Amino acid sequence: MTLKISQFIADKNPATPCLIVDLDVVKQNYLTLKSSLPQAKIYYAVKANPAAPIITTLEKLGSYFDVASLGEVKSCISLGISANRLSFGNTIKPIHAIRESYKLGIRLFAFDSAEELEKIAIYAPGSKVYCRIMVVNDGADWPLSRKFGTTAEQAIHLLIDAQEKGLKPAGISFHVGSQQKTVKAYQHAITLAANIFKTLQNRNITLDFLNLGGGFPANYSDEVPSTEDFGKTISTTMKELFPKEPPHLFIEPGRSVVGNSGVVRSEVILVSQRDETGKNPRWVYLDIGRFGGLAETEGEAIRYRFETPYDNLTTGLVPCVLAGPTCDSADVMYEKNPVMLPPELKSGDKIIILATGAYVASYCSTGFNGFAPLNEYYL
Amino acid sequence: MTLKISQFIADKNPATPCLIVDLDVVKQNYLTLKSSLPQAKIYYAVKANPAAPIITTLEKLGSYFDVASLGEVKSCISLGISANRLSFGNTIKPIHAIRESYKLGIRLFAFDSAEELEKIAIYAPGSKVYCRIMVVNDGADWPLSRKFGTTAEQAIHLLIDAQEKGLKPAGISFHVGSQQKTVKAYQHAITLAANIFKTLQNRNITLDFLNLGGGFPANYSDEVPSTEDFGKTISTTMKELFPKEPPHLFIEPGRSVVGNSGVVRSEVILVSQRDETGKNPRWVYLDIGRFGGLAETEGEAIRYRFETPYDNLTTGLVPCVLAGPTCDSADVMYEKNPVMLPPELKSGDKIIILATGAYVASYCSTGFNGFAPLNEYYL
């Protein structure tokens, strides 16, 4: 937790649950990424945290933006972002979203199937398109392999087709999986992409860019490689595989820009030791859970870290199952792998959930069980 | 789909995705439940669908209401429901929620732990309390066993304690799991509860009611026992186990009141046959998915049924993986068990997802990936 956030909490005692983000950390993360891969255009993945203060902070630093829907296109444009700084990166777009975003000036679209290409050719004629390929997601906490991307063979075929349909075949993209912790994942994927570049070159199609997607990890609880390590591996691999006239590089970081910039402040609602023997973990219920924003704890995938009022006082930690406040029994965050928390913890205590700047506020349900969406503060 | 809903769609062509509910079906479901268990007080589980038109429709029929949060307490009271028709059924309540709802006149609270009982005694003195016990959830599509409820022994101990703390020990509740398809689940649970009633009677504590919870199933795709079957089994079991002076019966139906009352209208965004061999299922992407309201497809638990424009035309069905519109690869509804859909289906087509009146609108995210919450229509 940064000094700015802890002072805000001390001064304002904001009602729980709430998300508090330090924009200085967002800035710092952006600048670190930029200096680790100076040759790359950064397209911030708006879905990670679409709040206006984050978008405008990044815009001032020169960021481009990866958008997932017409809603995100409109909200960026309403914040004064020029349409040519936006890439519509979702490969699954409703027809009206393509048509409307084309009217708003968007000229860069992702696709990974013949039907989507057809839609773009009709509703966004002459636009630049890039094809998403499927790569292996080993090493990612939140793997992505099933839903998106096509094969290298199919990508070549579709990009040739794109040109025939009057579109501009512009690039290849992939995604190594969110919260990717293995630098090698990029080496494999770049190699696959380089082969596509070469094959198309032989057909007189010169692609303009390689989009490395996102996946750079935020620091939740395991040790992760540094942004600099990712940058070095990527630069070295690019030099090897594209010895002359390398394509432009795009990256689409989301979590690595905002993940560690924010914390959730939450209240402990109940602590219950169910069995009289005390052998089983106690249950700790918070006022935020899977339906209040911590959706990424599904399958216990993302493991957050916690700060409690007893961290400097306690004599030992006890295993706790952590659950949310709703009547839904699926609203349990950590049960198979309980969280170690101080035995002093009781209802009414406030706790801090660290590194919750990404994928929290927007995942929150509109009002499941009558709980209002959490408040957000950007400092 | 009812005639009223299909006429509304034909007349208004409402933008997708949207939820359309026929309030006559809600009424009919309530009346069927009431006649199947005439001796029971019906506490509608507001969380299943908290929309004002549903609450007011049920209020006119004499319904009581089970609320899960201070938010639900306030929204019921703002709709003119008297506080003595509300039961605060969530066993995990923030202190301020107990205090505020007590101020608003709520005098009936659930609990299942010593700490919660203590909070109720302090912040809602003199209230009636009922203890939730844990029962086996075999036969339920959405089982609930882990998070809530205590043992029979502990329940006895806590209810005696409640009296000592100045509260009124009023009843026992359990929940057999949502979308429970086995009538026997109730027999087992009522037997367990009856033993608690007897033990407490010997200690001169006479509980007033037995709360059977919810769990009555809506008809999604499997055959389920009728409400009348559930009613008969419950009545017979109650007569056997409480031969004289039976306690009052409460039930907390949610899904069985609203589940089949509504449909979601959705647009097909993309159909993609990924492999050139055509051996694997094709992928069908809709403009609603797990983060737009169909959260209960998690783990492919709840299997919805579909109507397409080709249902009367098609010569055969093909297996399809069904996914939502977001960039999140977890936003896949049915993959292990694909859905059989007409091969003619293409992007731009509208499809109907049946029996989506429960747990859809409120599960919807506030704006994940920039998608606005779905519109709702109550006819």
Closest CB to A147 among B50, B298, B332:
B332
Please answer yes or no on whether A369 and B115 come within 8 Å at the CB atom: no
User: d(Cα B204, Cα B191) in Å, to the nearest integer?
Assistant: 20
Residue of A73, A113, A119, A329 to mutate, testing the B interface (most B Cβ within 10 Å of its Cβ): A329
Does residue A76 register a pLDDT over 80?
yes
Single out the residue of A169, A180, A97, A106 nearest to residue A138, CA to CA.
A180
Please tell me the distance from the alpha carbon of residue B53 to that of residue B32, in angstroms, as a whole number: 19
Residues of A in contact with B347 (CB under 8 A): 95, 115, 119
Comparison of pLDDT for A276 and A357, the residue scoring more: A357
Peptide bond preceding B17: is omega within 30 degrees of 0, i.e. cis? yes
Higher pLDDT, B192 or B217: B192
- pLDDT of residue A139 exceeding 90: no
What average pLDDT score do residues B184-193 get?
Answer: 89
DSSP state of B110: E
Residue A138 has pLDDT above 70, yes or no: no
The structure tokens listed for B186 are: 């109730």
Q: Encoding tokens for residue B243?
A: 């031969």
Cβ of B180 under 8 Å from any chain A Cβ? no
pLDDT attached to residue B156: 97
B325 to chain A: closest CA residue: A92
pLDDT tens digit string along B64-92? 999 999 999 999 999 999 999 999 999 99
Domain map (residue ranges) of chain A: 50-253, 260-378
ipTM above 0.85, yes or no: yes
What pLDDT is attached to residue A322? 95
- What is the tens place of the pLDDT at every residue in A202-251? 999 999 999 999 877 666 656 677 778 888 888 999 999 999 889 999 99
Instruction: Please give the Cα distance from A143 to A164 (Å, whole number).
Output: 34
What is the DSSP secondary-structure string of B352-370? EE-S--SSSTTTSBSSGGG
Q: What is the pLDDT of residues A174-212, one digit of tens each?
A: 988 766 677 788 888 999 999 999 999 999 999 999 999
Nearest C-alpha in B relative to A276: B154
A311-334: pLDDT as tens digits: 988 778 999 999 999 988 889 999
Nearest-CA distance A3 → chain B (Å) = 28
> What pLDDT sits at residue B228?
81
Whether A304 and chain B come into contact, CB under 8 Å, resolves to: no
Whether residue B47 lies within 8 A of chain A, CB to CB, comes out as yes
Work out how many CB contacts closer than 8 A connect A with B.
196
- pLDDT at residue number B218: 64
Cα A255–A258–A264 angle (5° rounding)? 105
pLDDT at B92: 94
Domain covering A260-378, topology: Lyase, Ornithine Decarboxylase; Chain A, domain 1 (2.40.37)
Please tell me if residue A373 touches chain B, with a CB cutoff of 8 Å: yes
Residues of B in contact with A372 (CB under 8 A): 71
The whole-angstrom distance between B25's CA and the closest CA on chain A is: 23
Whether residue A336 lies within 8 A of chain B, CB to CB, comes out as: no
Q: Average pLDDT, stretch B8-16? A: 97
**B331 CA: distance to closest CA in chain A (Å):** 8
Using pLDDT thresholds of 50, 70 and 90, give the confidence band for residue B140.
low
- Taking an 8 Å cut-off on Cβ atoms, the answer to whether B368 and A363 are in contact is yes
- Token pair of B225, please? 């026992």
- The predicted structure's pLDDT at residue B94: 95
Picking from A105, A95, A18, A50, the residue whose alpha carbon sits closest to that of residue A286 is A18
Instruction: Report the pLDDT value the prediction gives residue B276, as an integer from 0 to 100.
Output: 65
Q: Tens digit of pLDDT for each residue in A114-129?
A: 999 999 999 999 999 9
**Candidate from A261-270, B95-104, B243-252 with smallest mean pLDDT:** B243-252
Question: Mean pLDDT in chain B?
Answer: 91
A115 near B CB under 8 A: yes
Active site residues of B: 327
By CA distance, what is B332's nearest residue in A?
A: A147
The CA distance from B365 to A293, in Å, is 9
* Closest Cα in chain A to B146: A329
- The closest of B145, B267, B70 to A370, measured between CA atoms, is B70
Name which of B103-112, B155-164, B278-287 the model is least confident about.
Answer: B278-287
pLDDT at A318: 92
Quote the pLDDT of residue A55: 98
Do the Cβ atoms of B270 and A67 come within 8 Å? no
The model's confidence at residue A277, banded by pLDDT at 50, 70 and 90, is: low
| Nearest Cβ partner for A366 among B115, B143, B362 | B362
Q: Residue B260 corresponds to which tokens in the numbers above?
A: 């089949």
| Pairwise CB contact (< 8 Å): B148 & A329 | yes
pLDDT of A17-38, one tens digit each?
999 999 999 999 999 999 988 9
DSSP H or E segment with residue B321: strand B318-323
Q: Is A331 on the interface with B (CB under 8 A)?
A: yes
Say if CB B122 and CB B175 are below 8 A apart: no
Residue A294: phi and psi, rounded to 5, are -90, 45
Q: Is B328 helix (H, G, I), strand (E, B) or coil?
A: coil
**Eight-state DSSP code of residue A298:** G
Please give the average per-residue pLDDT across A84-93, as a whole number: 97
Asked whether the beta carbons of residue A366 and residue B370 sit closer than 8 angstroms, the reply is no
Longest CA–CA separation in chain B, Å? 75
**Angle formed by the axes of helices B152-164 and B114-123, nearest 10°:** 20
Give the Cα separation of A24 and B56 in Å (integer).
49
Chain B residues within 8 A of A272 when measuring between CB atoms: 112-116
The region of weakest confidence among A96-100, A165-169, B296-300 is: B296-300
Of the residues A18, A76, A131, A327, which is catalytic? A327
Residue B142: per-residue pLDDT: 55
Chain B CB contacts of A150 below 8 Å: 274
Chain A CB contacts of B71 under 8 Å are 367, 369-372
SS3 of residue A341 by DSSP: strand
A269: nearest CA partner in chain B:
B94
Residue in B68, B115, B372 nearest the CB of A272 = B115
Cβ-contact B210, B172 below 8 angstroms? yes
**pLDDT value of residue B214:** 82
Per-residue confidence band for B147, with pLDDT thresholds at 50, 70 and 90:
confident
Task: Extract the tokens encoding B48.
Answer: 């299943």
Whether residues A269 and B370 touch (CB distance < 8 A) is answered with no
A50-253, what's its fold?
A: TIM Barrel (3.20.20)
If you average pLDDT over every residue of chain A, what do you get? 91
Q: Measured between alpha carbons, how far is A108 from A127 in angstroms, rounded to an integer?
A: 6
Residues 147-166 of B with CB under 8 A from A: 147-148, 150-151, 154
Tens digit of each residue's pLDDT (9 = 90 or more) over B272-310:
987 666 677 899 999 999 888 888 888 777 889 999 999
CA distance B105 to chain A (A): 18
Search chain B and give the residue with CA nearest A358: B368
Residues B96, B97, B103, B104: is their CA dihedral positive or negative? positive
Nearest C-alpha neighbor of B346 from the set A116, A98, A99:
A116
Report the pLDDT value the prediction gives residue A275, as an integer from 0 to 100. Answer: 66
Among A69, A95, A368, beta carbon nearest to B369: A69
CB B46 within 8 A of CB B72: yes
Task: Show residues of chain A in contact with B98, CB under 8 Å.
Answer: none
Interface test with B, best of A368, A374, A375, A376 (most B CBs within 10 A): A368
CB contact under 8 A, A369 and B270: no
